[in-house]
Structure 1
């Protein structure tokens, strides 16, 4: 019987398949036996093991049950889903899901935590057309946005501070109706009991202590995590020596920016199409 050798480093799918094959062989099982235990065909399992078929979440969960591996394959599947993201961001999302406080500053685009599905879709469709990501990666990112937003509804809910550069509001994405609905979503977000929304206008000029997007988390044990990225690189930081100055700059930005009431008034004016 021919055996296809795999290079686990060649792709996330190959890494998942190699791990599945190793776990199966450690138990002395043939592909058909694992397939029967998981409720799939031997052909399907073979395709996953050789990296020819992308695993699904149900398959990963069935593998964990059949092989008694806890959540090993589910975690591997989630890592695979995040393979198109910048370094550090998947880990940041895990911290974000448990954070007691979330602070973010975004430039040029509405932050994912407050995007409508239509806005996110229009934004990612343009990225696909440029060839920067695939349609499959775009769909995965939309799913990730939905999962991140769902964590905000947990109990107790985190405190969420959203600071946006004025460019986030002025950059049109999608049809007019998409932007109108997005602006309405921001207004609704500002009315929640656990949120603060502010806009940093261009007029702040040099008084603005931050110029690049920044995400800051306060975890339940009060430790701090920061995440920042450029066009091609992401960086997750947990060293308080480096994170604390960023938190200070964020507080200075909040103090210099218009209040939430003034910011919401600006958004309402834009929603009406006023200059």
Structure 2
């Protein structure tokens, strides 16, 4: 039987999964046997152990009850949820790292995969100053982001399609020097043979297909996944009809957006106008 190697140092969720597996192994229980004691499915246990799902408060309490561990897992579960990452995002990242094609749409901020380290640091610093996250959570975000960017350099490289709302380019983050370097990064990205970069101008108005950021993945087996975010949480979508609908909307957005050549011209003009 194939057992996925766990990396508890990666995140609180990974550490929770490692501890859950270790306690289960000590008792000689299978995932299905533990699941029966907890009122969950074996598939759910597997997903938590491997970090693909976060433990809810009820799940953590059920683990403590099954193992007789007081409130140990409940406390560890709180640590998992007290993270700088949006709920649902850790489940998305492993799929992104092995995707053959990545399609992104973003508003107001440059997507993480295209951010310079300085731009990313400015975003997280702002979140810390607002009290939205702690400094430790900011570091967690930056570490994860660096790993995601590095994954794009794999061979063969994924095809990456990006549509940026014009607001992503007009919002000054980290000051003019940081923004100028970020615009340069976008131009370098557009030159890669495996990328397409487009700008959705304000003039699209109601023809813009999305009002929230969207991530669409095509895996090597041609399976399609979608990840969408609100201010409160992220959600990974696997249902075929929903994903196909989002892919259709994305293609419509690409048709309405500026061509890559026109988009590059817009970015170059903005960079020239940045002090």
Deviations for 1:125-183, whole angstroms, at most 9, x for unmatched residues? 00000000010111111111111111111111100001100000011101211000000
State the Cα RMSD in Å: 3.0
Please show how residues 1-275 of structure 1 align to structure 2 within 5 Å.
Answer: 15=16, 19=20, 22=23, 83-273=83-273
Q: Secondary structure at the match of 1:100?
A: strand
Describe the shift of the 1:185–1:19 C-alpha distance in structure 2 as closer, same or farther (beyond 3 A): same
Q: Secondary structure at the match of 1:94?
A: helix
Alpha-carbon offset, residue 15 of structure 1: 4.0
Q: Secondary structure at the match of 1:215?
A: strand
CA distance in 1, matches of 2:175, 2:233: 30
CA distance in 2, matches of 1:82, 1:191: 39
Question: Would the aligned equivalents of 1:128 and 1:134 in 2 still touch at CA under 8 Å?
Answer: yes
What are the ranges of 5 or more consecutive residues in structure 2 without an aligned counterpart? 1-11, 29-48, 55-79
Describe the shift of the 1:188–1:17 C-alpha distance in structure 2 as closer, same or farther (beyond 3 A): closer
CA distance in 1, matches of 2:273, 2:166: 15
CA distance in 2, matches of 1:174, 1:125: 9
CA distance in 2, matches of 1:118, 1:137: 17
Describe the shift of the 1:14–1:156 C-alpha distance in structure 2 as closer, same or farther (beyond 3 A): closer
Alpha-carbon offset, residue 87 of structure 1: 2.4
CA distance in 1, matches of 2:82, 2:189: 27
CA distance in 1, matches of 2:133, 2:240: 34
Q: Which has the larger radius of gyration?
A: 1
How many residue pairs get matched?
A: 221
Describe the shift of the 1:269–1:245 C-alpha distance in structure 2 as closer, same or farther (beyond 3 A): same
What are the ranges of 5 or more consecutive residues in structure 1 without an aligned counterpart? 1-10, 28-73
Question: Would the aligned equivalents of 2:14 and 2:50 in 1 still touch at CA under 8 Å?
Answer: no
CA distance in 1, matches of 2:255, 2:227: 21
CA distance in 1, matches of 2:99, 2:15: 33
CA distance in 2, matches of 1:198, 1:82: 35
